[in-house]
Amino acid sequence: MADDLSMKTIAKQVGLSPATVSRVFHSPHLVSLKTRDKVMNAVRESGYIYNAAAKDFSSKKSTVIGVLVPTADALFGNTLCGIQNVTMGIGYSTIQGVTNYDLETEQKLLRQFQERRVAGIIMTGLVTGQEKLIESLADSGLPIVIVWEKLTDSRFNFVGFDNKNGGKIATEYLISLGHRRIGMLVGPFTKVSRVKKRLDGYLEALRENNIEPDDSLIMERLPRYIEGAEAMAGLLSLDNPPTAVFAASDALAVGAMHEVHQRGLRVPNDISIIGFDDADVAAFLNPPLTTIRVDAYKLGVIAAETIVGLAKGEILDPRHYTLGTDLIVRKSCAAYPGQPR
């Protein structure tokens, strides 16, 4: 109702100019203590609420940042929480969008972000085919940080994990258990680079242990439960199925485990499965999932700090963060029967 309150109203009320009232909010050190108190009292009494939208507009400095996630699941949710926890404290808001790995949706949302004149964009799960779009955005001076990914082009800011090493560790763990026929469930690596890196790690581990990679053991799927199940079905129908599989995301691992159980087989007795991400649910599965942990929350924190620094002009050069990964051993992997350990 009394929402037509503005700084001008307050100014009139206390007999000051709007400029002074404005200064009370955005640079109080320029205002005498006495005046500040007078203004704040009037603000409290009238119930005036600062208009951040008007501020963004008039100062030509946006304080909203756009965030793109591929799926609205708990994993990216953690990154979102990390982002929120830094932005909330400093008066920034986030406008978000879920792409569902769909290029058109991604473009639409990006466009929307531009129209909103966001201060910057945090992109997770980039679809590589989009790189030209990102480039053009970045070239226009819009701060962009890519999260979860490591781009080849170092002009961009990104904060991600050592995916290759993670993939290698996972595979080596399986090998150390005596497995030599190891399948891999992997996201669309032709499009998403982080996932390509995990595959690279897998291949490297194989090579270093003198295991010939077998293309028929590599299944390329979107990281969704159902696709993990389908991929695992493919693997299990092989003449010579793997004795262990490395799923490049826990979502795929969950689907894979489900398929194994559906067929009356057991994890890890009949087949070992290791995941990637350490999704919240991983520890609570049956059996609890052995996986590669990744600190999604921290990713969000760093991304947010970076984008804000960039937006404020405090950061000038491209930033590249690479976080480590940890092997979390639980119960979904066992030694290869022929070679106990």
Letters for 275-294 (x = contact with a copy of itself by CB under 8 A, - = none) are -----xx-xxxxxx------
Q: Is 323 in the site for a copy of itself (CB under 8 A)?
A: no
According to DSSP H, which parts of the chain are helical?
7-14, 18-26, 33-46, 52-59, 74-87, 103-115, 131-139, 163-176, 193-208, 225-236, 250-262, 296-311
Q: Is 225 in the site for a copy of itself (CB under 8 A)?
A: yes
Residue 244 · residue 274 · CB < 8 Å: yes
**What, of DNA, a copy of itself, none, does residue 6 touch, CB below 5 to 8 Å by kind?**
DNA
**What, of a copy of itself, DNA, none, does residue 46 touch, CB below 5 to 8 Å by kind?**
none
Q: Which residue from 13, 22, 78, 171 is in contact with a copy of itself, where contact means CB under 8 A?
A: 78
CA 83 to chain centre: 10
Rounded least distance, CB 18 to DNA, Å: 5
Task: Please classify residue 134 by burial: count the beta carbons closer than 10 Å to its beta carbon, then call 0-12 exposed, 13-18 middle and 19+ buried.
Answer: buried
**What, of a copy of itself, DNA, none, does residue 17 touch, CB below 5 to 8 Å by kind?**
DNA
φ/ψ of 259, rounded to 5, equals -65, -40
Cβ distance to a copy of itself smaller for residue 23 or 164: 23
Q: Which residue from 12, 117, 263, 320 is in contact with a copy of itself, where contact means CB under 8 A?
A: 117
Letters for 292-321 (x = contact with a copy of itself by CB under 8 A, - = none) are ------------------------------
**What, of a copy of itself, DNA, none, does residue 30 touch, CB below 5 to 8 Å by kind?**
DNA
Among the listed ranges 14-22, 48-56, 147-155, 172-180, the one in contact with a copy of itself (CB under 8 A) is 48-56
How far apart are alpha carbons 247 and 289 in whole angstroms?
Answer: 11
Cβ distance to a copy of itself smaller for residue 80 or 219: 80
Q: Is 70 in the site for a copy of itself (CB under 8 A)?
A: no
**What, of a copy of itself, DNA, none, does residue 18 touch, CB below 5 to 8 Å by kind?**
DNA
How far apart are alpha carbons 252 and 247 in whole angstroms?
Answer: 6
Rounded least distance, CB 246 to a copy of itself, Å: 18
Residue 253 · residue 247 · CB < 8 Å: yes
H/E stretch holding 315: none
Q: Is 52 in the site for a copy of itself (CB under 8 A)?
A: yes
**What, of a copy of itself, DNA, none, does residue 129 touch, CB below 5 to 8 Å by kind?**
none
Own/partner pairs, 85-92, CB within 8 angstroms, 24+ separation? 85/300, 85/301, 85/304, 86/300, 86/301, 86/304, 86/305, 86/308, 87/304, 87/308, 90/308, 91/52, 91/63, 92/63, 92/64, 92/65, 92/119, 92/304, 92/308
Q: Which residue from 59, 107, 112, 216 is in contact with a copy of itself, where contact means CB under 8 A?
A: 112
Residue 109, SS3?
A: helix
Residue 250, SS3?
A: helix
Nearest to 22 by CA among 44, 50, 63, 3: 50
Q: Which residue from 40, 74, 233, 315 is in contact with a copy of itself, where contact means CB under 8 A?
A: 74
Q: Is 90 in the site for a copy of itself (CB under 8 A)?
A: no
Q: Which residues here bind a copy of itself, judged by CB under 8 A?
A: 1, 3, 49-54, 56-57, 62, 64, 71-74, 76-78, 80-81, 84, 88, 91, 93-98, 100, 105, 108-109, 111-112, 114-117, 139-141, 225, 229, 254-255, 257-258, 261, 280-281, 283-288
